Amino acid sequence: ALNCSTNGTLPGPLYIPPVPHDAGVALGAAWSVCPPVSRTAPLSPYLGSDIATGTADMADTTDLVRTPLDIDRLTALLLDGRIGAVAQGRAEVGPRALCRRSIIAVPDTPEVATRVNTIKNREQWRPFAGVTRAGYGARLWEQQEHLSRYMLGAARATELGRRTAPGVVHVDGTTRPQVLHADEAPAVGAVLDALDALGAPPVLLNTSFNDRGEPIVDTAADALSAFRAMNLDFLVLGDALYRKKSPAGGAG
């Protein structure tokens, strides 16, 4: 059930859990014996290992500048065209990065997709997902109900979606949307709200935080290694913001 194109064509309402592959066999076995009582309460995908506050203190970060995470500063970096990553809280259990182990960018031009594919050493035809809040998502793409919670279905972008977020619209006019609720992913959710408050489209490109051939980062050491390897502009790690030092000794 990881085929987003097919999932997007199935009639709803349709619920697919965030681990619809081999890693979800245990969940399916449990549900076959004792199905969920509620049909409305979703399964949290954030059940993996935790990057706790201060977890990077044991790593060598002398080549980086560390500052407390400031959402206004992070939003400004994104609006300035910077591309960075987030590794915060408990990891996602499924194969989709849902903003706790993600690379993010403002998708306001088609060239953003080219840049991110280059950073990740991926083929240029590969598409990206957009993440936003529910209210704005209803304006950007066809509604999917449960599928957009876990980024598991393709949906046709609206004219507004194609105009404001071309970096996450595939050549066939679809995107693989994610709707972020409440504080499920605190840093990304706060950025979406900050963009909205500034009058900018509250939508971001969201893709998995990993280089080609590598698994999605899990630990702080993974995140720092991938941040350096892909030469990203910033890294949100726990409650801190990391950037590379400039030749003069400040943040680059």
Question: Per the domain annotation, does 249 fall within a domain?
Answer: no
Assess if residue 114 is contained within a domain: yes
Look at residue 36 in the predicted model and tell me its pLDDT.
80
Q: What is the mean pLDDT of the chain?
A: 91
Can you tell me the mean pLDDT for 148-172? 95
Question: Is there a contact between 216 and 101 (Cβ–Cβ < 8 Å)?
Answer: yes
Domain CATH for 55: 3.90.870.20
Would you say residue 193 has pLDDT above 90?
Answer: yes
What confidence tens digit (pLDDT) does each residue in 198-244 have? Answer: 999 999 999 999 999 999 999 999 999 999 999 999 999 999 999 99
Q: Is the pLDDT of residue 250 over 70?
A: no
Strand pairing partners for 44? none
Q: Residue 103 forms beta bridges with which residues? A: 85, 207
Dist. CA 126–CA 65, nearest whole Å: 32
Q: What integer pLDDT is reported at residue 177 of this predicted model?
A: 94
Q: Residue 116 has what pLDDT? A: 97
Cis peptide before 13 (omega within 30 of 0): yes
Residue 146 has a pLDDT of 85
Asked whether residue 251 is domain-assigned, the answer is no
Residue range(s) defining the domain that contains residue 61? 4-244
Reported confidence tier of residue 120, pLDDT bands at 50, 70, 90: very high
163 occurs within a structural domain: yes
Residue at 233 is within a domain = yes
Strand pairing partners for 43?
none
| Higher pLDDT, residue 97 or 15 | 97
Angle at 21 between CA 149 and CA 126, to 5 degrees: 65
In a domain, residue 26? The reply is yes
- Going by their DSSP bridges, the two strands 234-237 and 129-132 should be labelled as unpaired
pLDDT of the residue at 62: 85
pLDDT of residue 55: 56
Predicted TM-score (pTM) of the model is 0.92
How is residue 167 annotated by DSSP? G
Residue 74 pLDDT class (50, 70, 90 cuts)? very high
**Calpha distance 134→151 (Å, rounded):** 13
How large a percentage of the chain has pLDDT more than 70? 94
Query: What is the domain count for the chain?
Result: 1
In a domain, 142, yes or no: yes
Q: Retrieve residue 149's tokens.
A: 């919670």
Query: Could you report the per-residue pLDDT of 13-68, keeping only the tens digit for each?
Result: 888 889 988 888 988 899 899 988 776 667 899 999 998 654 555 677 889 999 99
* Residue with token string 């876990």: 150
Question: For residue 125, is pLDDT > 70?
Answer: yes
Q: Which residues contact 67 (CB under 8 A, 6 or more apart)?
A: 73, 240, 241, 243, 251
Q: Residues 78-101: what's their mean pLDDT?
A: 95
Dist. CA 234–CA 119, nearest whole Å: 13
Identify whether 40 is part of a domain: yes
User: What is the C-alpha separation between 19 and 27, in angstroms, rounded?
Assistant: 8
Rounded mean pLDDT, 129-138:
94
Least confident of 29-43, 148-162, 179-193: 29-43
Please give the pLDDT value at position 77.
98
What confidence score (pLDDT) does residue 1 get? Answer: 86
